[in-house]
Structure 1
């Protein structure tokens, strides 16, 4: 035996009895060390079959043993579901994103509680806390970061909690005399935004600020901030939260609003889903519906580098002059080093006003011989109540939607055709950055234009104007300021998103083989593009729902100066870290998979 081994043995032998006692305590799932390591199936501490059976009785039989969705015998059914995001969401073993290159792959939990009421959620949380299990929460299952699933975990699946109720005069609990009654909508945690839009707008004639993709879960979007096409007018979903019912790590059902559990309430407004508790119901303010919603489409291609520079300079100037206001949202896309694609949303303007607004830009384009319209200008304005009316869209714009075509599916369940390619997609890279409104000032526009042109040489990207609140009304800014979302959003004119992905690559999917070499090449190009952008927007924060999985300083990147306050709320409501998600509040205390606690 070498000298070093002898020394090690001499030090270790006196400690053996203590180590054996500690290991026994850990194996029993008891004592202080029990919080350090979560058990996996087959390991000491994993609940016995009788304990799972007891949980199943407690939740009325709604405990599901999950298996890989493409296992023998199940593959054909799962394959049929992949083109339908509603069907994907109805499968507790699937997520809407199949994975991310070199980051994560969609894998089902070991067990799932298919919650139908708050009591089911309480039972699942109590069981996970008692047995120190890795816990996952899924409603819509759209998390790009892979937070909607985790192998060897217990899933709280809220899909069946999807009721929506309208209120004419809602006052949060404990707020009578302090808040004016207002129109609102209460939505259970498993509802999708199409459920909310159908109830509030199509049938109710009002507006609720939600997300653009109709199959996204209401609860997840609100907790992550929540931008939609018209956020430049009505703010984020988080900023319009009036009250939430949430089950915290101690198994208690709490009401959170401006006066009851106010720090929990603030943290739920943009602090990220799955970190502070399981939301079971949210109540959001609703607004008077404008007369019209609509959209504008146009694509222009430049013949040379000089022409492209002129085109981008004019587009930036035109946005600042004519579109930098609450009427306009959505995107300008820059790709190929020569192409500008415009796809923008409209609220509160007539067809004539829209055409009048765009006339100067179109005149500029048509006057140039080195810029060519490859997709003609199209402006479409319609009564706002029809925007999510599936029957109206089936009749007048059938190509714009993809309906849930399963027998017996709700008639209002439809997806925008432009979002269909994201169903099951495998992410190669995804980054975002909020761009400050100061870049639109005349003296800095040339700097912004140069950065946009240089970045587009590496990879295409889009400016999402609705995901920056600069230019919004004062009341919208004030509500957003009172949320946990990164403060930079208040002074950003847009969120720049640079990303790409490939076809579904679920583990075990027949024929699926992600091209990792291609993914890494694209990720490197996107890194270069974003480096160019960040040179003119140093320390730009990212939108937590649409961001880089590998972001290093994620606390600052997602929440900026709000993070210490969020961390304090985490310590108060979840001191033992029952709730864990990748790059979620408090996740720095755990290993990357959430199974090993690194520090108390």
Structure 2
């Protein structure tokens, strides 16, 4: 007799039921990791698709050509020699789509251009590039000023959004952010994402008699500095550059052009104020508060040599005492450098004081040095204390150029306003060996802790130079500047710090594979070890230090805490809302822990 026709199905059901608990315990089939597409791989856009993008952005799509292969092939050619000479001009580097201001970091990254770039003219061009990258799974990079030490404004095998041409600047006598009709109008300036601070200062200070808080380096990009928090020479008076942000136009990962301010997209607005560039969207325009301009700006420059290590330790104490007693206030900014060889170099600026007032502030320090001539000698610049009209401070006047206080873009036909401070030229074309920064809390200046601080600075200087950037710590700033800084994403350690301590090492323009111009890895690693010992000496008095995202160690392990402290989880929430798929990636940026080091492959959860 044949079995019942329902018997086999019934038995199969019983077998499946018995096996069900074990089947549920088996792991789900592994899902392939999401990977972005590289040239030559399946999915890389066809030429017709690139052509369509070019038409959509009205001819601003560029097939990027690196100058380095030709230089490798003929390193002694005139063109190659000129390239290395031009790499000391920050304006040249900024105007070249294939270049970055820093050429690399030994054992970390090398400046490598994108395959294509959209030289965006407006937010719609940016949106087209963002949509194209998202739809084709491309690695997307954003470059404005191109000053990233950590290489975040370049990546090989990528599509670049290049904002350099978006540099329009518009003054507003009575600005009210969109949707904020109940707020009082303020003087403000709207600045395109591709503008640099020399252009902003020319428009706001030299031409319009106001002040906008921006970067100390005049070729740094405006939008990038705002997104990192933003310190300039006069931050002790006017606060963070990010805290002056009133409104931003930004393209998010879905290709939408959004307005972010305190009244709409407020969470994104907060994240853009110090959350780091390139992680939350592409900022295309910022509108910043314009402050009243002080009557005077000025500078103090000199170097003191100690004649023994013991004398240098005394000098460290004199310098720190003088800072704590007379300089930790809104008038003063910039830095003191404690260098190997028992040398103190002072390069400080002041605002709201005249020449005689600034001289009176420094007289006790100079008297103490003069009274100990057996231990110290002092060298002055041609003018140790200078004061000028604040409105003329950034202007490229003939007198300032003649005295060497300011330098100009030396390319034929370069605009008159293409200027930079001579001290910033060392950054142009550099190859980094190491870079460390540490927020130094103001509590270290208290009487019971000051000796330990001075001991740490002295110990650090035995290994490498260390600079105290007083304008990059907000302790001593007015209450309104501190309150505004607390409403940004920056690590709150910056608000409680009297300075940012920086130690670094670099070499001048070099590039791998170019004979006669190659970097020096062995020397770099020795320098990195010395800088690490310098940092370790400081962190004996600051064990849980924070660090400034724009000036920090590429290899920082606890970067989330170092850069943003308790604000990081809130930033992650903003990232999840506006870029849930992680289109925007930068090294040690918000959400980057979900990706491989190169940003091409999403890590499994």
Match of 2:450 among 420, 445, 449: 445
- Change in Cα spacing, 1:158 to 1:393, as seen in structure 2 (3 Å) is farther
1:341 aligns with 2:345: yes
Between 377-386 and 504-513, the greater mean CA deviation after superposition: 504-513
Match of 1:160 among 137, 150, 165: 165
1:228 aligns with 2:232: yes
| Contact 1:198–1:389 (CA under 8 A) maintained in structure 2 | yes
- SS of 2:416 mapped into structure 1: coil
- Change in Cα spacing, 1:45 to 1:535, as seen in structure 2 (3 Å) is same
Between 272-281 and 398-407, the greater mean CA deviation after superposition: 398-407
1:183 corresponds to? 187
Counterparts of residues 537-556 of structure 1 (less than 5 Å)? 537-556=542-561
1:83 Cα deviation from its structure 2 partner: 2.6
1:285 Cα deviation from its structure 2 partner: 0.2
Match of 2:263 among 255, 259, 263: 259
| Contact 1:393–1:401 (CA under 8 A) maintained in structure 2 | no
Counterparts of residues 270-285 of structure 1 (less than 5 Å)? 270-285=274-289
Q: Distance in 2 between matches of 1:475 and 1:238?
A: 14
| Contact 2:304–2:344 (CA under 8 A) maintained in structure 1 | yes
Counterparts of residues 551-566 of structure 1 (less than 5 Å)? 551-566=556-571
1:394 Cα deviation from its structure 2 partner: 4.7
1:29 corresponds to? none
1:305 Cα deviation from its structure 2 partner: 2.1
Match of 1:384 among 375, 390, 393: 390
Counterparts of residues 69-88 of structure 1 (less than 5 Å)? 69-72=67-70, 75=80, 78-79=83-84, 81-88=86-93
Q: Distance in 2 between matches of 1:383 and 1:294?
A: 8
Between 510-519 and 102-111, the greater mean CA deviation after superposition: 510-519
Counterparts of residues 469-548 of structure 1 (less than 5 Å)? 469-509=474-514, 511-548=516-553
- Change in Cα spacing, 1:493 to 1:418, as seen in structure 2 (3 Å) is same
Q: Distance in 2 between matches of 1:475 and 1:386?
A: 27
- Change in Cα spacing, 1:115 to 1:551, as seen in structure 2 (3 Å) is same
1:463 corresponds to? 468
1:571 aligns with 2:576: yes
Q: Distance in 2 between matches of 1:163 and 1:283?
A: 12
| Contact 2:244–2:289 (CA under 8 A) maintained in structure 1 | yes
Q: Distance in 2 between matches of 1:153 and 1:306?
A: 54
Match of 1:208 among 212, 228, 232: 212
Q: Residues 253-279 of structure 1: CA distance to partner in whole angstroms, max 9, x if unpaired?
A: 000001100010000000000000000
Q: Distance in 2 between matches of 1:104 and 1:208?
A: 33
| Contact 2:88–2:509 (CA under 8 A) maintained in structure 1 | no
1:315 aligns with 2:313: no
Specify the structure having the higher radius of gyration (Cα).
Answer: 2
| Contact 2:512–2:518 (CA under 8 A) maintained in structure 1 | no
Q: Distance in 2 between matches of 1:159 and 1:398?
A: 31
Q: Distance in 1 between matches of 2:322 and 2:346?
A: 12
1:507 Cα deviation from its structure 2 partner: 4.1
Q: CA RMSD in A?
A: 1.6
Q: Distance in 2 between matches of 1:219 and 1:529?
A: 32
1:30 corresponds to? none
| Contact 2:512–2:519 (CA under 8 A) maintained in structure 1 | no
- Change in Cα spacing, 1:152 to 1:131, as seen in structure 2 (3 Å) is same
Q: Residues 514-560 of structure 1: CA distance to partner in whole angstroms, max 9, x if unpaired?
A: 11101000100110110010010111100000000000000000000
- SS of 1:72 mapped into structure 2: helix
Q: What's the TM-score, normalizing by structure 1?
A: 0.93
1:337 Cα deviation from its structure 2 partner: 4.7
1:43 corresponds to? 41
Between 510-519 and 382-391, the greater mean CA deviation after superposition: 510-519
- Change in Cα spacing, 1:121 to 1:510, as seen in structure 2 (3 Å) is farther
1:401 Cα deviation from its structure 2 partner: 1.9
The count of corresponding residues between Structure 1 and Structure 2 is 569
- SS of 1:98 mapped into structure 2: strand
1:598 corresponds to? 603
Q: Distance in 2 between matches of 1:106 and 1:499?
A: 19
| Contact 2:84–2:509 (CA under 8 A) maintained in structure 1 | no
1:365 aligns with 2:363: no
Q: Residues 273-292 of structure 1: CA distance to partner in whole angstroms, max 9, x if unpaired?
A: 00000000000001110000
Q: Distance in 2 between matches of 1:557 and 1:457?
A: 25
1:350 aligns with 2:354: yes
Q: Residues 25-84 of structure 1: CA distance to partner in whole angstroms, max 9, x if unpaired?
A: xxxxxxxx5x71011000011111111111011111111111222233874664453232
1:87 Cα deviation from its structure 2 partner: 1.2
Gaps of 5+ in 2: 1-25, 72-78
2:13 corresponds to? none
- SS of 2:102 mapped into structure 1: coil
2:56 corresponds to? 58
Q: Distance in 2 between matches of 1:525 and 1:82?
A: 27
Gaps of 5+ in 1: 1-14, 23-32
Q: Residues 197-241 of structure 1: CA distance to partner in whole angstroms, max 9, x if unpaired?
A: 000000000000000111110000000111000000001111110
2:106 corresponds to? 101
1:375 Cα deviation from its structure 2 partner: 3.1
- SS of 2:549 mapped into structure 1: coil
2:65 corresponds to? 67
Q: Distance in 2 between matches of 1:116 and 1:80?
A: 30
1:3 corresponds to? none
Q: What's the TM-score, normalizing by structure 2?
A: 0.92
- Change in Cα spacing, 1:80 to 1:502, as seen in structure 2 (3 Å) is closer
2:300 corresponds to? 296
